[in-house]
Structure 1
Amino acid sequence: MKNTPTDPVPILQDLIRCRSVTPAEGGALSYLERLLAARGFSCQRLIFREAGTPDVDNLFARIGTGAPHLCFAGHTDVVPEGIAESWTHAPFAAEIADGFIYGRGATDMKGPVAAFVAAAIDYLRGAGPLKGSISFLITGDEEGPAINGTVKVLQWMRENGHVPDHCIVGEPSCTERLGDTIKIGRRGSVSFTVSVEGKQGHAAYPHKADNPIPKLARFIDRIAAARLDDGNAHFDPSTLAVTSFDVGNPAANVIPSRASAKFNIRFSTEHGFASLRNWVDAEVAMVREQMGGQWSVAATEGADAFITEPGAFVALVKEAVERETGINPRLSTSGGTSDARFVKDYCPVLEFGPINATIHQTDERIAIDELRATQRVYGRIIADYFSAGS
């Protein structure tokens, strides 16, 4: 008799009921540890600390010791629920209604975690001796500072001989239908604060003051109109968004002594942190030469741009998605950042998961049919990966 597939629905419900608002573990990792250990996985709980940041609990679980080694990465921490009374169903009750499971993390990303855990359990039960290794890297710090989570687990994995050959991050990648998008990279992100010092004075005597506002306005106009690049085969053109222009001046008759602006650049692989800092410095120098002023520039590096070039691994996942969903997925680098930005330094990585329509929203939810279909996609990926000996 054919084995009955493991149902991810109760797994997801149990995970949602763990109140794991970042950085709290909430029992979610303990639940997964028990579930996986009972199926033969070797589990390691990894708690990392750093001064000034919250302690974070993480889980690494692996079965098998050889190659090829396929890792599934995800997180069980979730963002706060917001106003609980605004939810149609309580945010940590995991109630089922109209074919959906409601709850914080249903899609981002306890749903994908439940789906790939269930898929792995089924594969191990029916495939005979494992020809390689399957592992799970589950962090409690993806929605937080991302300091004591995936980045440090990966370091531990390298030090202890657990670097995978390939990794799939279960972030909700699809936009309209399950299967429509696989993320094979992400744009980089860097934020700048540019300030100009002047001399305060009375608005009736502007010649006695040194107004920093026109100087900074000239600079902002220049960078806002600039085209950073034309993109490339995998990335749209880089973008720049001005997010703040502040002089801290409530008075209409006072020229302020200081003006500051903030802006964020989301960039393709045509750029890096150093090249963008050089470009900003050059633009500042040009305006300073024209208009004077004392300028300062501060940069906060977010994530570097990266791409997993299409090849055998991407093709395998793409074919598995299409076979299970009937959709030919597009290969995308859109969106913000994810923990894939850390994994890419260790092995090829891509992201695939369910529809992202309700992530971080009130009434976050996932359709039961979609959850089970996501499990089938992961199951197909696992089966094809080990049959191909990738």
Structure 2
Amino acid sequence: MRILLIGEYSRLHNSLKEGLVALGHEVILVSDGDGFKQYSSDFYITPKIAVNRFFNIPRQLIFRIFKFDIAKIERGIKFYRLLPKLKDYDVVQLINEAPIQTTSFFEKYLLNKIITQNKKAFLLCCGIDYTVVKYMLDKKPRYSLLDPYFENTNLIKHYRYIFDYVSNGHKKVHNFLYEKVEGIIASDMDYYLPLKGHPKFLGLIPNPVNLLNIEYTEPSIKDKIIIFLGINQGAYHAKGIPYFEQALKSITSKYKDKIEVIAAQNIPYNEYIELYKKAHIILDQIYGYDQGYNALEAMAAGKVVFTGAESEFQDYYQLTDTVAINALPDVESIVKQLSFLIENPEELILIGNRARKFIEKEHHFVKIAEKYLESWNKPKI
């Protein structure tokens, strides 16, 4: 099959491509590299002109006044120029409802072109989109990444990018895609729950993880236990980073001779990987019910990850032993869990080993690619 993947988010499409290629399929990926993370792509739509030194000052002024980023226009134009090369594919998959990241009107126009000039189109739900935001706004989950905003609406500037997905402009894109795509696939429980019961929902296909690229090393604790916190400043509150920072203050004071803390902010993916390699514990996110991509890769490497691992996740995979630490929006809970691991380092080895085996069983990139092929080849809904 000829397969076109549009957009990237936390290396999901790169890993899926690797699995599909291993199965003998022709795959092309178009993306902007997911911003500062700089993931690989066959065709890049990364803005260059709008972000260069000459244009960046007027770009910032326009954004402050109109809350509009002119880099969106450049992305759209770059994608438009690629259209002649992006036709006659058997399957097109969109990473989310705005995979091009241009204006809503332009997004809809370009996606219509893509869907029209190819055979089948599918939509992934693996991050923020209209359905997920509406689910959180209706306060259906026990807690969500919108909780900091609900508690303090002055944080609106940190959440504007999320509310864009329930704007009138984006809602038109959402409605258009839900009408035109063959089906919608969720990548984990955080997206499975909002979509459950929708007639076009094809089910949950776990994130693919390329285990050939991730070496598992059993934790070796010779001196200090190393804790790593990676910070994406754009999602600082949505990821619950303040809870981790407060917990680390308490832990550092309590165990200053037993631990080392590494914190990194807004760094490219390859640098991020190198930094966390020597860590024993990874602090990932607070508000998830399941693991995101960074957490899965860390688990594959044998790290103990503080992330989403709620009862819904445990039940879905029929787990009886811990493979990741369920990080709650509760500083005392995080401190208690960290303290237990620091005082019982043998648990780091046990959990890290189970984490790797879990990824091998449920997230192997070739097995996951096979599941995508099965979903794509199902009769039209």
The structure with the greater share of residues assigned to strand is 1
The structure with the greater share of residues assigned to helix is 2
Higher RCO, 1 vs 2 (CA within 8 Å, ≥6 residues apart): 1
User: Normalising by the residue count of structure 2, what TM-score does the alignment of the two structures yield?
Assistant: 0.29
Larger Rg: 1
